[in-house]
Chain A
Amino acid sequence: GAGVSQTPSNKVTEKGKYVELRCDPISGHTALYWYRQSLGQGPEFLIYFQGTGAADDSGLPNDRFFAVRPEGSVSTLKIQRTERGDSAVYLCASSLDGGTRANVLTFGAGSRLTVL
């Protein structure tokens, strides 16, 4: 697509529920990143995919968080047993090649998750 698309744009859920957030990157971009931003914080790195594989998942806060990118394009971030502290804007970004310094990230509009 022309840009990075994220769905849903807004998600309100109850504590303990399961949530999936979807990211459709720019066509041809091999690198895909998930970040989250809580109020008053900078972007917090969650996971980075190069192609289908997670090149770095060190930012996932705990085992309730999981992300996949089975065909090297669309990625889904999955959060189990949501907690109020998971409330944040979840940003997805893609770049042509994660290993090249000049390739900037193109961000989606984000998915705002609110856990009640």
Chain B
Amino acid sequence: ILNVEQSPQSLHVQEGDSTNFTCSFPSSNFYALHWYRWETAKSPEALFVMTLNGDEKKKGRISATLNTKEGYSYLYIKGSQPEDSATYLCAFINAGNNRKLIWGLGTSLAVNP
């Protein structure tokens, strides 16, 4: 059974705080990892595609790193803003599993003004 775990499950921070959360996935047969951002009442939106061990991606104040050998990815948000409030989902793609995305349950972030 392929499991993707995200922690913490939820997070409340103050505006201006920096924060990070984790996506853990099986380290064998890695193919790719996706990060998505899902705001309430909107569609999930792709943030990053991570494919190589050591990848670091950045989009504005949000960045992500990837360690395929130990099976984790970190998502960082620098100087959180209320508009960053959303659920952040990671999805792991295993090379041998028909390239199916296996989703974590997400980290729900609430940024208080």
Q: Which residues of A contact B (CB under 8 A)?
A: 4, 33, 41-45, 48, 55-56, 91, 93, 98-99, 101-102, 104-110
Contact = CB atoms under 8 A, between A and B. Distances in A.
Given A42-B106, A105-B34, A106-B46, A56 B100 contact: yes
Contact of B100 (A4, A45, A104, A107): A45
Contacts of B32: 101-102
Nearest to A59: B100
The 7 A-B residue pairs whose C-beta atoms are closest, nearest first, are A101-B32, A104-B46, A107-B43, A42-B105, A42-B103, A107-B44, A43-B103
B89 interface: yes
Nearest to A31: B99
Q: Which secondary structure dominates chain B's binding surface?
A: strand
A101 B51 contact: yes
Contacts of B100: 45, 48, 56
Contact of B43 (A33, A48, A99, A108): A108
15 contacts: A42-B89, A42-B104, A43-B44, A45-B101, A56-B98, A56-B100, A101-B93, A101-B99, A102-B32, A102-B51, A104-B34, A105-B34, A105-B44, A106-B46, A109-B43
Contacts, number: 52
Nearest to B30: A101
A107 B103 contact: no
Nearest to B90: A42
Contacts of A42: 89, 103-106
Contacts of B43: 4, 91, 107-110
A55 B106 contact: no
A23 B98 CA distance: 22
Interface in B54-113: 89, 93, 98-106
A57 to B, nearest CB: 11
B99 A45 contact: no
B60 to A, nearest CB: 17
B44 A91 contact: yes
A19 B106 CA distance: 29
B49 A102 contact: yes
Most chain A Cβ neighbours within 10 Å, of B99, B102, B105: B99
